[in-house]
Structure 1
Amino acid sequence: MLSGCTSGGAATPAPPDAAVVHTASGTLRGTVAPDHRLFAGVPYAAPPVGPLRFRPPAPASAWEGERQATRFGPRCLQDPGSDPEFGRQTDEDCLTLNVWTPPVSERKRPVMVWIHGGAFVNGSGGIYDARWLAARGDIVVVTVNYRLGTVGFLAHPGLGEPGDVGNYGLADQQAALRWVRDHIADFGGDPERVTVAGESAGGMSVCDHLVAPGSAELFDAAIIQSAPCQAQAPLPVAEQRSLEYAAAVGCPDPATAADCLRALPADKLRKPVWFVGIGADDLTGPVTGTTALPVDPPRAIADGKAARVPVLIGTNRDEFTLFVALRYLQQGDRYTPEQYPGLLADTFGPNAAEVAARYPVDRYGPDPRTNVPLAYSAAVTDGEFACVTDRMADGLSRAAPVYAYEFNDRAAPAPEPLRTLPFPVGASHSLELRYLFDVGGAPPLSGEQQTLSEQMIDYWSTFVATGAPSAPDGPDWPQVGDGSYLSLQPDGSRVTTGFAAEHQCAFWSTLGR
């Protein structure tokens, strides 16, 4: 009998090429490994350039023939002065996404749409190698680029109808979610089981999607990592800052500013527009009181107006040490005991003296090179991250199941510069990401840390699949209910009810934080 023929003589059809996916927009050719597939640089919206700059994303054009999907698309336009990827290509034509899948199967897999962090001014979806989640977690992962900084969030009143300006980056994320709804089945994903997830600014975006009218019905669960879901820029403030920004780049006349801004060279718009200042930090990002985001997320959640979906939410034990470290490395800030009251005043205003009494420098050791950065970091970690997370978890849990965690590996691998400081960064902001994604740039995980990584992947992926996290080798993860948190640790994760007390959340609630 000839190979490839059945006993009846009919040829056996060749198996489909796992590297090829046919979509309504055209055919894509990705890459195939033994345990996953990747389709990179897939356009989900039209290039937002020329007349489409400062407008909601338009549909992507279809293409003829086979499109190569083997390389990540350019990062969205960003300021090279705050560039964590050291100059990799940026472009306004950047609205692409990347799809990581398990090997081909007849079964549709649940989907996680990952929104990257970067303070709404830098970063990209291409940083996050999601093959571990696809292979071990048996889920489809979509990582997304969205407009950043000025081109993503400028809220000049001349750019649209009243209240319908800014938030272009948020609209990009919604367009990506719609693309997932319409196309992910072609990649083996289940459009009926979509979790929107993100860290830092990506997690703040998830908070926005929980309350944004345009995001309704686009996802079934949410993951919020290390995201202080706090009040964002109100429209009047954002409009005034945007008018000032436009004047500074050569478009001072509000009547002609829209055409002027759309005609500027892209390099003129790399510097972000800043809406809000908190202490030494300036912030940009989504604008509230707008058509896209009518109500601030914390208020909407407190009022029970958030999407009623399961939420996995958490924070890292030492969040703010990263930001103190970056100031130390980039600006040469060397905090001293004499500077401590001023640091607290810049951050906490009239409450600074009360904060100082709760976070005295001498509690953090005798060495001022160490104790001042650690005291300041602890105060901001508790007041701006941990207790905000605790309050959000409590509010969200009144409407749907909520599972809360604290990442507590204080020896987590960190990039080289963070290992040369006079103070330890501990379980700092973003360090949990390398337990879920292969993000590189740090020493490898130890054996115990690798076990924790696998456990976290199991928890995250079962949450994406079922709305409830579980891991075969980890403790049962209860809903937040009585203040229960899962403390994620390499020597054994454990359930604790001491999170709020450890971070002094009762004190912070008296300050309105």
Structure 2
Amino acid sequence: MLRRTFAVVLCALLVVVTAGRALALPDAVVHLDTGAVRGVAAHDHRAFLGIPYARPPVGALRWRAPEPAEPWTGVRDATAFGGKCAQPATSFDGLIDNEDCLNLNVFTPARRADANLPVIVWLHGGSYAFGDGNVDAGAMAAAAGAVVVTLNFRQGAFGVLALEALRAENPALNHGVQDQQAALRWVQRNIGVLGGDRTRVTLMGQSSGGGATCSNIASPAAAGLFHRAVLMSSSVCGTEQRYGVTLDTARQTGEAYASKLGCPAGPGQLDCLRGKSARELVEAAPFTEDAQIPFLFPPILDGVVIPAPPVAMIKSGAVPRRPVLAGLMDDEGYLFAALGLKVQTGVVPTEEDYRRLITAFAGPGGAVILALYPSLRYGSPLKAMSALMGDMMFGCGTRHGLQQLSPLAPTYAYLFEDPQAPPVVPGLARGSTHAAELIYLFGPRSPLLDPGQQELAGRFLRHLGTFAATGDPADWPRYDRLGQRILRFRPGTAGGTHGFGHLYVKHRCHIWDLLGSFIGT
């Protein structure tokens, strides 16, 4: 439960480190298939914000496939972000009960002679429960030499709910994934007038956004909508047998959730649920440590939108084989450990705190985990907890995923190793923990980064832009099952590579393999 509880916090961090508005200078007008929009132009990029890509999924459209956006007359203002999708309150934002949120933002480098640029579509993280795409990606677009699209999509119970009544209405569930595919279809229709090449679209996400990218890799409906994938801190799509949750498991969660809202299975259940306010739906799915029923809504193997795990779908030939760039942070687990042990409040974790948290997390199995991850081995309770969370949640999952995907498609792996990366939450230590890379992506010239870190950000974004353009990041060895070469990203140096067995040994995967506890985010 700890793994999922603290996964809720992580991707609101994107909002904190990257939120902003494009600088309003001379306006820019483009004509889309639904009407004209006026964006803003900065010295190195243009931005078109809050563009609807589908009708608001409200009323009778709640838990239905996204429908095309309504056209408009005149020139629509696209200089401000659109509404965020409904989500619970976090430390960074209050509860949001808005459902009119199926909108996207487009950032293009300043107009150049060599238009027809590669396109990067960004899927935010947030444990499939919260977060948003309202992030200024102008600097990223300029540095990568690509058109960048960010979007808002349904999440939590709005985006992933399984009920027999919904299945009877339409067996295709995973409405958040369907939203993402509607946005990708919008890109196919419109990105050309914004300087992008619809034949070179890269789908990219971090944490659960990477998991959502994997959902689209597995989805036949996404064939032809994107051509490469970037998976950041997301365990690289699981294994041939394991990804998301089964339909039966999802239905059990969905029916329990509906019952809590006073809408049990039977005639009228959907009318009852569609009659509830968005606030009621959000508040019925708490994401707190003391929640008696922790309603979680990960991707569902519904047999339609996601028929089977991504690796199995690629092997079957049912979906395209796309180049993949994937990686993780050097100390992914620190963020979760620090939040779990309340370091951000100034608490110095004790051995008792560590033992109490592990017992709450693992129950009777806590004694085994404490024996495998003793404080004495790592130097402190916090470091032991960081290693545990990083190994269990990310390290071994990433290694498994790379081993599974690399024989199926060109695969490139990285490890981000900046021990002085700015803290992702005030009060925490610097380092390469989960979400620490986001400022390098979206704020490569941020004053929070020193010159060496800005150079690192630029280097990573150049590789990303080359990968988006060609499917090969250039000067980057391919990952294969034998060599297992992983490019290292460190400030001030090219970093070199890690080779055979690094992830397996560093993250003690022999233990997690033995326990059968390979777990992804």
Cα distance, 1:335 vs. partner? 5.0
- Cα offset, 1:307, TM superposition: 3.4
Distance change >3 Å, CA 501–CA 242, structure 1 → 2: same
Q: Supply the AA of the counterpart residue of 1:320.
A: G
2:210 maps to a residue whose letter is: G
- Post-superposition Cα deviations, 1:124-152, rounded to whole Å, max 9, x if no partner, equal 111x3211221122100000100111111
Partner of 1:483: 484
1:292 equivalent among 305, 312, 323: 305
- Please list, as runs of the form range in 1=range in 2, the aligned pairs for 1:335-350 lying within 5 A after superposition: 336-338=350-352, 340=354, 343-344=357-358
- Paired amino acid for 1:429: H
Equivalent residue, structure 2, for 1:360: 374
Identical columns (%): 40
Query: Does the residue aligned with 2:325 lie in a helix, a strand or coil?
Result: strand
Give the Cα–Cα distance (whole angstroms) in 2 for the partners of residues 336 and 307 of structure 1: 50
Partners of 1:511 and 1:89 lie apart in 2 by 39
Give the aligned residue type for 1:427: S
Does the C-alpha gap of structure 1 residues 101 and 389 become closer, same or farther in structure 2, counting only changes over 3 Å?
same
TM-score by length of 2: 0.84
Deviation at 1:325, TM superposition (A): 2.4
Structure 1 CA distance for aligned equivalents of residues 308 and 286 of structure 2: 20
The 3-state SS of whatever aligns with 1:100 is strand
1:123 is aligned to 131
2:151 aligned partner: 144
The secondary structure found in structure 2 opposite 1:198 is strand
Q: Which residue is 1:410 aligned to?
A: 419
Deviation, 1:374, is: 1.6
Q: Residues 152-191 of structure 1: matches in 2 within 5 Å?
A: 152-161=159-168, 164=171, 166-191=173-198
Deviation at 1:391, TM superposition (A): 1.2
Q: CA deviation at 1:465?
A: 0.8
What is the CA–CA distance in structure 2 between the aligned matches of 1:486 and 1:337, rounded to whole Å? 36
Amino acid at match of 1:113: V
2:335 corresponds to: 322
Q: Deviations over 1:426-469 (max 9, x none)?
A: 211111011010399x9710111111111111111111111111
The letter for the 2-side match of 1:27 is A
Residue 74 (structure 2) pairs with residue 65 (structure 1): yes
Which residue of structure 2 lines up, in the alignment, with residue 431 of structure 1? 436
* Offset, 1:285: 2.4
> Secondary structure, in 3 states, of the residue corresponding to 1:293?
coil
State the secondary structure of the residue aligned to 1:487.
strand
Find the residue that maps to 2:225 and give its secondary structure. coil
Residue 122 of structure 2 corresponds to 114
**1:309 is the counterpart of 2:322:** yes
Could you say what secondary structure the match of 2:181 adopts? helix
- Matching residue of 1:265: 277
2:437 counterpart SS class: helix
CA contact (8 A) 1:304 1:399 kept: no
Map of 2:390 onto structure 1: 381
The number of equivalent residue pairs is: 477
Q: Does the 8 A contact of 1:155 with 1:239 survive in 2?
A: yes
**Contact kept? 1:325, 1:418, Cα under 8 Å:** no
Distance 1:49 1:331, change over 3 A: farther
**Residue type of the alignment partner of 1:114:** W
Which residue is 1:463 aligned to? 467
- In the TM superposition, residue 237 of structure 1 has moved relative to its aligned partner by 1.7
Cα displacement (A) at 1:364: 2.2
Query: C-alpha distance in 2, partners of 1:378/1:455?
Result: 28
Cα distance in 2 between the residues matched to 1:457 and 1:32: 21
Quick one: which of 254, 272, 281 aligns to 1:242?
A: 254
Answering whether residue 402 of structure 2 is matched by residue 393 of structure 1, we say yes
172-181 or 17-26, which moves further after superposition?
17-26
Distance of aligned partners of 1:83 and 1:337 in 2 relative to their CA distance in 1, 3 Å threshold: closer
Structure 1 residue aligned with 2:14: none
The answer to whether the 8 A contact 1:149-1:272 is kept is no
- 1:418 Cα deviation from its structure 2 partner: 3.5
Q: Provide the secondary structure at the position in 1 that maps to 2:185.
A: helix
> TM-score of the superposition, structure 1-length normalised?
0.86
- What amino acid maps onto 1:297 in structure 2? P
Q: Which has the higher contact order (CA 8 A, sep 6+)?
A: 2
Residues 485-504 of structure 1: matches in 2 within 5 Å? Answer: 485-492=486-493, 493-497=495-499, 498-504=502-508
Q: Which residue of 1 aligns with 2:21?
A: none
Q: Aligned-residue CA RMSD in angstroms? A: 2.9
Asked whether the 8 Å contact 1:167–1:285 carries over to 2, the reply is: no
1:136 match: secondary structure: helix
Per-residue deviation, 1:508: 2.7
Question: Once the 2 structures are TM-superposed, how far is the Cα of residue 282 of structure 1 from its aligned partner?
Answer: 6.3
Kindly indicate whether the alpha-carbon contact (under 8 Å) linking 2:260 and 2:284 is maintained by their aligned counterparts in 1: no
* Unaligned ranges ≥5, structure 2: 1-25
SS at match of 1:133: helix
